[in-house]
Amino acid sequence: MKSMKENRLINVRRTPVSLLVSGLFALSFNASAQQAPAPQEKGPAAADAMLHALEVKYPTPYRVMETAEVKSVLDRVLGYLERTTPAEVINQKTGATIMDLSKADPDAVLKPGDFRLTSYEWGVTYTGMLAAGAATGDKRYTDYATRRHQMLAQLTKTYYPIVQADTKNAHAPIKSFLNPHALDDAGALCHSFLKGKVAGTGVDYAQMVGICGDFVTKKEYRLPDGTLARGGPDGQGGVKMRPLPNTLWLDDMFMGVPTMAYLGKTTGDRKYYDDAVNQVLQFSKRMFNPKLGIYMHGYVEGMRDHPEFHWARANGWAVMAMVEVLEVLPKDHKGYNAVLEQLRAHVKGLASYQTKDGFWHQLIDRNDTYQETSATAIYTYAIARAVNRGYVEAQMYGPMANLAWNAVASKVTGAGQIEGICVGTGMAFDPAFYAYRPTSVKAAHGYGPALLAGAEIIEMNRKFKFGLNDSGLMYQGVR
């Protein structure tokens, strides 16, 4: 009795080459495929003639996802977040909804859900919702961000004077935003407000942007050369240990720099552009490894050696910061080309570490660490955005962006939760800390990036065509 493999090869010999190739491709992929040249010899094909076209069982789907499929993934995420992040203020003692937000209530709190509406992670989520609304045309995404922005604007108007009058003892449902102590309290939220303003949502962002923009550009601690840093004075004669004095966290490239750039866009004041460019270049000078093409997570000013741990999500914040800066930075700015070249160097470096399943590892250059979803989503967004804006070549980076999106989509459950997201992570000096960080569907860090990634993939595949060529997914031109 012949084996299945022998029968398959016999069938290959009996089947015209062109029909076999087209049949395999039509069954396996929904994209237009280019074919290898037909053989010039006549007669039956040799047993090895079509081995390259055998079916491959890819763990991550190896194809371009149709727009409707991408949106279906995003819709599940939206549905989950609508159910679990209510735009509502309640009385913490009675649980009753407070309808009139123009009157201060000492017992007012945001109604608890799965995620905090004023966290930096949710600033990214608001930005992702705006992007998904623009890419899909589905107003539900835009409304998600707009409703919550509007609620935050009203709460700011009501409670900001109270908090300013007594920052230590005053109560407010969004006090961490009204009295920020770190970039995490202000930067990503501010970026989402400025994106909403540029998009024309109709929310009055002026007061909120005044608070968070002022903190990012004037109050956050900096090194003598102006670089954003942690571990400054604690206000009591000591120094904050974050984790050591004068420490740079790569995360802060995103937590502060896009806000600076968008303040330049919305005010017309070029000093904000100058600040944003300087931040990118000064962080990169200290923390980017040009041989590896990736950034270290932390850097302590004054130390001889620094912890070279290339944490994936921090690299995501860096690459995302650069595409956001370039989105609004005037091309005639003296620092434009320097930021662009830094982005290209980083994207090229990241590309070399993508795994066969489309993900990136928790520590990018350590294959013994797990494949992490939020960083993969951020890279998907940033690389696809770079392709769409012409910062990098679609031929080189479009296929890997599609593979990365398919990897992210594989982690979205039927209920809209996202698996494989590393929980909040500080800076450390050993690999065990990073390698053993838990993952959770309740880690907020992956939801905004997933929305951004899906939205940008829709835009990329709407603009460019990718299909099969000799079984490989490749660029096939502008649509």
Q: CA 276 to CA 75: how far, in whole Å?
A: 34
* DSSP secondary structure letter of residue 230: B
Mean pLDDT across 461-473: 95
Q: CA 17 to CA 34: how far, in whole Å?
A: 14
Structure tokens at 311: 């944490």
Structure tokens at 54: 């055998």
Task: Name the residue with tokens 């940033």.
Answer: 382
Beta bridge partners of 363: 311
Indicate the pLDDT class of residue 35, thresholds 50, 70 and 90.
Answer: low
Between 36 and 414, name the one with better pLDDT.
414
Q: Please report, for the chain, how many H helices and E strands are present, in that order.
A: 16, 10
Q: What is the rounded average pLDDT for all residues in the chain?
A: 93
Task: Name the residue with tokens 């649509």.
Answer: 479
Q: CA 212 to CA 190: how far, in whole Å?
A: 6
Q: Percentage of the chain surpassing pLDDT 70?
A: 92
Q: CA 318 to CA 253: how far, in whole Å?
A: 6
The predicted pLDDT at position 36 comes to 65
Following CA atoms 37, 41, 45, 47 in sequence, which dihedral angle do they give, to the nearest 10 degrees?
-90
Express each pLDDT in 243-300 by its tens digit. Answer: 999 999 999 999 999 999 999 999 999 999 999 999 999 999 999 999 999 999 999 9
What backbone phi and psi angles, to 5 degrees, belong to 238?
A: -110, -165
Express each pLDDT in 290-328 by its tens digit. Answer: 999 999 999 999 999 999 999 999 999 999 999 999 999
Express each pLDDT in 406-465 by its tens digit. Answer: 999 999 999 999 999 999 999 999 999 999 999 999 999 999 999 999 999 999 999 999
CA 133 → CA 86, 96, 458, distances in Å? 19, 32, 11
Between 242 and 248, name the one with better pLDDT.
248
Indicate the pLDDT class of residue 364, thresholds 50, 70 and 90.
Answer: very high
Q: Which amino acid does the sequence have at 350?
A: L
Cβ neighbours around 256 below 10 Å, total: 25
Q: CB pairs under 8 A, 24+ apart, for 289-294?
A: 290/345, 292/349, 292/365, 293/345, 293/346, 293/348, 293/349, 293/350, 293/352, 294/346, 294/349, 294/350, 294/353, 294/364, 294/365
The predicted pLDDT at position 106 comes to 95
Question: What is the distance between the terminal CA atoms of the chain, rounded to a whole angstrom?
Answer: 50
Indicate the pLDDT class of residue 12, thresholds 50, 70 and 90.
Answer: very low
Q: CA 318 to CA 297: how far, in whole Å?
A: 10
Sorted by where each starts, the structural domains of the chain and their CATH numbers stand as: 4-53 (no CATH), 67-478 (1.50.10.10)
Q: List helix spans (H) across 245-335.
A: 252-267, 270-287, 312-328
Q: Percentage of the chain surpassing pLDDT 90?
A: 86
Residue 81: which H helix or E strand, with range? Answer: helix 67-84
The predicted pLDDT at position 102 comes to 98
Per mean pLDDT, which range of 71-85, 231-245, 246-260 is the poorest?
231-245
Beta bridge partners of 249: 298
The predicted pLDDT at position 23 comes to 38
Any idea how long the chain is? 479
